[in-house]
Amino acid sequence: MPVVHQGKFGGILYLENNLTTDAFTADRIRIMHILSSQAAISLTNARLYAEMKQEVALRRRAEEELRAALAEVETLKNRLRAENIYLQEEIRREHNFEEIVGSSPALLDLLGQVERVAPTDSTVLIYGETGTGKELIARAIHARSARKDRPLVKVNCGAISAGLVESELFGHVKGAFTGAITARTGRFELANGGTLFLDEVSELPLETQVKLLRVLQEQEFEPVGSSRTLRVDVRIIAASNRDLAQAVAAGQLRADLYYRLNVFPLTIPPLRERQSDIPQLVTFFLTRFAKRIGKKIDKVAQDTMDLLASYSWPGNIRELQNVLQRAAVLSTGPVLKLERVLFPTLSASPSLSPSAMSAEPPGTHAVAQEVAVQADHASSAPGSGTLEDVERHHILSVLEKSAWVIEGPRGAAKILNLHPNTLRSRMKKLGIHRRVTRQKP
């Protein structure tokens, strides 16, 4: 019996009987015609349903592929946007230096080492006191490497809170933690193909150091809240103003991470060891500042130049830059003259001899400079004494004002513009402890 629906042949309904010769009567044949018509409708519907189901499956698969493609495009777009924003910020921001200025033997020896290590992909560890230009050396290494066409991404490890440092370095997915309303591209992914500069690397929490070590070893990581492993090709340049070997001994830095970072160490000489470069630096900075503020300053008085050249500069080139900027603002003529009384750090220079400064551990000078400057304005500061006496007095004064709260927006570290761990280290060295008095019952 043919199965036909709307003139379209759909198959054959086959019946067989070998028992009797009168099985296919006219009534039964008529019933079979009706059944074949119903079968044709059912078969057509079944085929239409199967085709529709297949079409829905194909459409769903196409939608999933489209969503995956859109997600990949969005990820790439976000990465390019983040990289573009970062590069624009780097272009707009004011760097401490635009060029490396100087010709002293210590500086030329450092630049020679930079020329040798830059073309390689070796990890570089830069040592230097605060204000010596560690980031500038990192930029010089990157600019002379094969990665110069990719970004140099900077991370100040001491300026990021412990709870956000992993998200900053490795990124996070949406919903990874409270407040993660959107996905974030980490600095490692942003620096893929380029260079990542980890400033003050010893300030990283120990748990983050473990993940950093894995990236250095395996060149892969997982964003916070994600199980997806990302592979990157990043060159690491780390920097510190502390003795990292002492940090390892104190349990503040993992020994395995230290050995991974200390592949090619570079030590930037402090400005007191580059006194022959001071006239060049003065001319360089003064020309830039005078142009910026719209003044004409053609010359520096000889006594001022002698004063600048003889000072030990505990804050190094950054302090020199700040002093010259202040002097340029206060200058009233074409010849720059610098008065000691206008600059507290210069007034305190006799107690800061080069020999005394060289005896201090790395990182001490920035704290000493900050404390010395602020102590000069404190009404209760002593009129004389050693640098440590002034520093101890000022830290105690700030701690008392903050009720001995170290961290937080109103803590002593925030007031002194120091990292909390740096402040604790200075307190320990200076023997500053809070005395707790118990009232008798």
121 and 205 belong to one structural domain: yes
123 and 261 belong to one structural domain: yes
305 and 382 belong to one structural domain: no
Q: Domain containing 170 — which CATH number?
A: 3.40.50.300
120 and 228 belong to one structural domain: yes
Q: Please tell me which residue, 89 or 322, carries the higher pLDDT value.
A: 322
> Does 78 reside within a domain?
yes
425 and 319 belong to one structural domain: no
52-67 per-residue burial string, b: 16 or more CB within 10 A, e: under 16: eeeeeeeeeeeeeeee
Q: Please tell me which residue, 259 or 344, carries the higher pLDDT value.
A: 259
230 and 348 belong to one structural domain: no
> Does 397 reside within a domain?
yes
147 and 233 belong to one structural domain: yes
Q: Which residue has the tokens 């900053």?
A: 168
Q: Is the separation of the CB atoms in 214 and 164 below 8 Å?
A: no
Q: What is the pLDDT of residue 435?
A: 64
Q: Domain containing 348 — which CATH number?
A: 1.10.8.60
Predicted confidence (pLDDT) at residue 234 exceeds the cutoff of 70: yes
> Does 167 reside within a domain?
yes
| Residue span of the structural domain in which 330 resides | 271-356
278 and 192 belong to one structural domain: no
Q: What is the pLDDT of residue 334?
A: 87
The burial class, CB within 10 Å (0-12 / 13-18 / 19+), for 166 is buried
Predicted confidence (pLDDT) at residue 423 exceeds the cutoff of 80: yes
> Does 367 reside within a domain?
no
pTM recorded for the entire structure: 0.58
Report how many domains make up the chain: 4
Other beta carbons within 10 angstroms of residue 178's beta carbon come to 6
> Alpha helix (H) ranges present in 144-277?
165-170, 187-190, 206-218, 244-249, 255-261
> Does 149 reside within a domain?
yes
243 and 278 belong to one structural domain: no
281 and 308 belong to one structural domain: yes
Q: Which residue has the tokens 């630096």?
A: 281
Q: What is the pLDDT of residue 341?
A: 57
Over residues 384-402, mean pLDDT: 75
Predicted confidence (pLDDT) at residue 13 exceeds the cutoff of 60: yes
251 and 186 belong to one structural domain: yes
Q: What percent of the chain has pLDDT over 70?
A: 83
Average pLDDT, the chain: 79
In Å, how far are 249, 252, 337, 367, 394 from 433, measured between CA atoms? Answer: 23, 21, 43, 18, 14
What confidence tier does 35 reach under pLDDT thresholds 50, 70, 90? confident
In terms of DSSP bridges, do strands 195-199 and 235-240 run parallel, antiparallel, or are they unpaired?
parallel
259 and 289 belong to one structural domain: no
Predicted confidence (pLDDT) at residue 335 exceeds the cutoff of 80: yes
Which of the listed residues 356, 387, 408 is the one where a domain comes to its end? 356
